[in-house]
Amino acid sequence: MALKTDDNKKYITTEDLKTHNKPGDLWIAIQGKVYNVSEWIKSHPGGETVILNLIGQDVTDAFIAFHPGTAWHHLQNLSTGYHIRDHQISEISRDYRRMAAEFRKLGLFETKGHVTLYTLSFVAAMFAAVLYGVLACTSILAHQIAAGILGLLWIQSAYIGHDSGHYVIMTNKAYNRFAQLLSGNCLTGISIAWWKWTHNAHHLACNSLDYDPDLQHIPVFAVSTKFFNSMTSRFYDRKLNFDPVARFLISYQHFTYYPVMCFGRINLFIQTFLLLFSRREVTDRGLNLAGILVFWTWFPLLVSCLPTWPERFFFVFTSFTVTALQHIQFTLNHFAADVYMGPPKGGDWFEKQAAGTLDISCSSYMDWFFGGLQFQLEHHLFPRLPRCHLRKVAPVVQELCKKHNLPYRSLSWWEANVWTIRTLKKAAYQARDAANPVVKNLVWEALNTHG
């Protein structure tokens, strides 16, 4: 029920806000002010999913995390004129907002350093080395070295795509879009549209078993026994069936983890095609398809230049195996962290990010290799913060976690692997004793997540 007070402002309660959660009637609150996003959601650059997951709530912390200062000016057009009467802010949210404001005053979000220039130059040099190794050399060793370099190229190119998906790394948005398509679609064969669709949802619902797509790997992996109940993925809108096939594979997942990572790239290729050829609405579908066509032109041609089929096989295998390092890194950051069921909530943004992430400790000279993502909590709290600043802000984030009794876990690469394997092993042993439902699922169904 709307109320009016002496200050001539119209008020609704938090409970009233929750009722505006249906198509055509989608409301959110930011800093206690209520906005109607029913129409805006269709053109939201970050996609509909991230808004729908927080609809009917105060989303201030998430809004601060994902949006530049210029986004605040657009809110007025969406205003309902209502304010939240019982609006409250937790102490951790107050501190988080102060921290974000301080970073803005210091210009950290706008000062991007030369990381992009260095990385693009490195990628170009590696691509030239790969061409030389394949086309100008005849020894098998040279071809294998070229394959390893190609794998490293894919890793570094993915970091460029990742950065450009979170903030503008180039001089303007048009060049930034070009960098996305070049580093993602053209060089790695993975659609930037697919990445943004899944990655934004992952950031928002970090380590939610049913809302975070980055944890939904049935029938190959399961990090929690809750997957044994054949839960419904709220992201893919389909049931994740835990059948005998899934139970068998998961029972040995602590053994298959590293081998599967070596072929993880194949799944990303499949997911890209499933999205781009699905009926879902995809932004710039044509450009994404064109970029993928570029990749599937130069990569097969390059491989075909090798003299024998065994050399071609091992070239592809070696390049895929090197990129497994990146797939492993992504899983180390989350598989062994805390998980939960249900949608994300606007009121515990900091808490959920701290619980669902693990940092990887390393020396500063290795920052280039990890692409800044070793500071996973810092990145999740401030996804728009250029990676050159993540090491600087880490002590501040750690201090805030300590103040509010929140976990701040920074493990060595070895420790993170041990934690991850231990998590997979625990679930594997439990899977062997799980109930055995009727067979409905095959490996293909896990890949065919788009319907």
Tens digits of per-residue pLDDT, 379-410? 999 999 999 999 999 999 999 999 999 999 99
Record the tokens describing residue 263, joined without a space.
């072929």
Q: What is the mean pLDDT of residues 86-95?
A: 94
State the Cα–Cα distance between residues 129 and 136, nearest whole angstrom.
10
Q: What is the mean pLDDT of residues 99-109?
A: 95
pLDDT given at position 1? 53
- Tell me: pLDDT of 448 over 50: no
State the Cα–Cα distance between residues 29 and 56, nearest whole angstrom.
8
- Tell me: pLDDT of 167 over 70: yes
Angle between helix axes 140-166 and 173-180 (nearest 10 degrees) is: 140
The whole model's pTM is what?
0.91
Query: E strand or H helix at 175, and its extent?
Result: helix 173-180
State the Cα–Cα distance between residues 180 and 183, nearest whole angstrom.
5
Indicate the residue type of 118. Answer: Y
Record the tokens describing residue 35, joined without a space.
């906005």
pLDDT given at position 80? 93
Q: Which residue has the higher pLDDT, 60 or 173?
A: 60
Record the tokens describing residue 251, joined without a space.
């029972």
Structure confidence at residue 2 as a pLDDT band (50, 70, 90)? low
Query: E strand or H helix at 415, and its extent?
Result: helix 413-431
Contacts of 16 (CB under 8 A, 6+ apart): 1, 2
Are the C-beta atoms of residues 344 and 205 closer than 8 Å to each other? yes
State the Cα–Cα distance between residues 417 and 5, nearest whole angstrom.
57
pLDDT given at position 394? 97
Q: State the chain's mean pLDDT as an integer.
A: 91
Are the C-beta atoms of residues 364 and 420 closer than 8 Å to each other? no
Neighbours of 71 (CB within 10 A): 12
Q: What is the mean pLDDT of residues 431-448?
A: 52
pLDDT given at position 3? 55
